[in-house]
Amino acid sequence: MQSVVIHAPNDLRLDDQADAPAPQPGEVRVAISRGGICGSDLHYFHHGGFGATRIKEPMILGHEVSGIVDAVGQGVDGFAAGDRVTVNPSIPCGRCQYCLRDMRNQCEDMRFAGSAMRFPHQQGLFRQGVTVDAAQLVRLSPTTDLSHAAMAEPLAVCLHAVRRAGPLLGKRVLVSGCGPIGCLTVLAAKHVGATEVIATDLGAAPLDIAARIGADRTIDIASAPDQVEALTEGKGTVDVAFDCSGSDDALQTAIRAVRPAGTVVAVGLGPDAALPLSAMVTREITLTGTFRFDSEFGLAAHLIDRGAVDVSPLLTQVMPLREAASAFALASDRRRAMKVQLDFDGG
């Protein structure tokens, strides 16, 4: 089978590898159909890693995938050959103090598909077949669009971020940065009852998608900075702000924009930022982080499967596996692409 492997920065190859093994008891073999290119995949592609994490050996990329069950191991209930599924890329140990506290996203021995944070690296899911524990799969309806199902992982990230913010019913919400995570945070906030969601970005193209996915108002920071400043008037005008950009300036603006006792959720990863502690203390602002997801993966998959949320506006293009390098180049251009996926069925 073929796999999408990063060997060094800008050295992406389609490598021939052994087929996925027959499933052992408790396991399921899946023929991968769709794989979405994520921001972390692009960091490996362009830079060989991010922060202090760097690839030390060739690594299969990818963690946003869906596919069709190919074979089922002994003792597995609820799955059969031909079932459509989405694959959870997160494999917590189940034994550490955080797993035992029901905080599996903070697992001390996490294995996450397509990650160089441990060595040997945890190989990713951009391959034509994979054998995984049955617990990693969510079964889908026979008619579910597998391109949509492959977005369960990023949607789970955003559902976890929204959960970290507390109840949003009736709230006015700001989302800064409208890449895939920002747009899906807009969708998630609207789904749980936010009355108004304001989305900001530096470009018109992502803001157009944010509007299509549910934003009530969009602000192009580059052309209308005064509209962003208006959000900070008085003691702030929004209840909750999500910074999905990882930008120091955006985080500062988010803190200034929330009302007293409001909440700022730092979603995007960026360099360490200076915080306006005086404003945070006197206005009693809560600043919280959010990292990956846990039970939200199953929820995300079911919301997509039932059509309760519509992720289709994010999908820019599905490209054949043989054009993986071109797909990564397209995914790197925010002016032209939101979410680019690979088609593993057609080669």
Q: Are residues 136 and 159 in the same domain?
A: no
**In which band, very low, low, confident or very high, does the pLDDT at 51 lie, cut at 50, 70 and 90?**
confident
CA–CA dist 297, 156 (Å, integer): 5
The residue ranking higher by pLDDT, 51 or 258, is 258
Q: Are residues 21 and 41 in the same domain?
A: yes
Q: Are residues 317 and 274 in the same domain?
A: no
Predicted local distance difference test score (pLDDT) of residue 346: 65
**In which band, very low, low, confident or very high, does the pLDDT at 344 lie, cut at 50, 70 and 90?**
very high
pLDDT digits (tens, 9 = 90+) for 80-96: 999 999 999 999 999 99
Q: Are residues 228 and 278 in the same domain?
A: yes
Q: Are residues 216 and 317 in the same domain?
A: no
Q: What is the mean pLDDT of the chain?
A: 96
Tell which residue, 5, 151, 68, has the closest CA to residue 345: 68
Is 298 domain-assigned? no
Whole-number percent of the chain with pLDDT over 70: 99
Is 210 domain-assigned? yes
Predicted local distance difference test score (pLDDT) of residue 270: 82
CATH number at residue 16: 3.90.180.10
Is 253 domain-assigned? yes
Predicted local distance difference test score (pLDDT) of residue 347: 47
Q: Are residues 333 and 256 in the same domain?
A: no
Q: Are residues 137 and 82 in the same domain?
A: yes
Cα–Cα separations (whole angstroms), residue 102 to 37, 98, 112, 152, 155: 29, 6, 17, 21, 20
Is 306 domain-assigned? no
pLDDT digits (tens, 9 = 90+) for 271-300: 888 888 988 999 999 999 999 999 999 999
Domain that holds residue 213: 155-289
CA–CA dist 329, 339 (Å, integer): 12
pTM for the model stands at 0.95
Long-range contacts of 11-15 (CB under 8 A, 24+ apart): 12/45, 12/61, 12/324, 12/325, 12/328, 14/321, 14/322, 14/324, 15/58
The answer to whether 263 touches 257, Cβ cutoff 8 Å, is no
Q: How many domains does the chain have?
A: 2
Residue 207 has pLDDT above 60, yes or no: yes
The residue to which tokens 């060094």 are assigned: 8
Is 295 domain-assigned? no
Q: Are residues 321 and 188 in the same domain?
A: no
Q: Are residues 237 and 143 in the same domain?
A: no
Q: Are residues 23 and 142 in the same domain?
A: yes
Whole-number percent of the chain with pLDDT over 90: 94
pLDDT digits (tens, 9 = 90+) for 229-244: 999 999 999 999 999 9
Is the preceding omega at residue 120 within 30 degrees of 0, hence cis?
Answer: yes
Dihedral (C-alpha) 127, 30, 116, 37: value to the nearest 10 degrees? 60
CATH number at residue 170: 3.40.50.720
Amino acid at 336: R
